[in-house]
Amino acid sequence: MTSTTSIFHTLHQQVRFVTKEANERLKAYNLYSSQWSILYCLDQFGPMKQTEIWQYLNVEAPTTTRTLVRMEKNNWIHREQGSDKRERIVSLTKNAEELLPEIKTSIHEMEKLLLEQLSLEERELFLHLLNQIGFKEGSGTYVR
């Protein structure tokens, strides 16, 4: 029987490997995988409040804020005050919108390479299993 420690150690190592591979591809754009996560989020959902971003990504607010400040300086995102003085709305810049298709293609190629040995059925099962980690049956919520 496989131990839970072995499962999570392997998962952690694989995540580190994927992050390293993504960082290598993103280096050409002066981006890191954590910044790519934010760009992807904004591309998928449109402008978002900073709080929505850190909650969606499960990252601490100060860490997200530091990343957003760096991304704003590098012309990837724009932050503006929301209806509440404390609220900041984050959106993609024109620069980001222009480069996003190229970046997405590069990341997609990496993802295809990393999953090429899995069949379509295995990929679907893999996604299903990942989504089950921490999921509390019957409640529709995740255990944290």
Residues 6+ apart with CB under 8 A from 123: 115
pTM of the model: 0.86
Nearest to 49 by CA among 14, 81, 9: 81
Domains and CATH numbers, the chain: 16-118 (1.10.10.10)
Q: pLDDT tens per residue, the chain (144 residues)?
A: 888 999 999 999 999 999 999 999 999 999 999 999 999 999 999 999 999 999 999 999 999 999 999 999 999 999 998 888 888 999 999 999 999 999 999 999 999 999 999 999 999 999 999 988 876 665 555 555
List, in sequence order, every residue forming a beta bridge with 88; answer none if it has no partner.
81
CA distance 83 to 59: 24
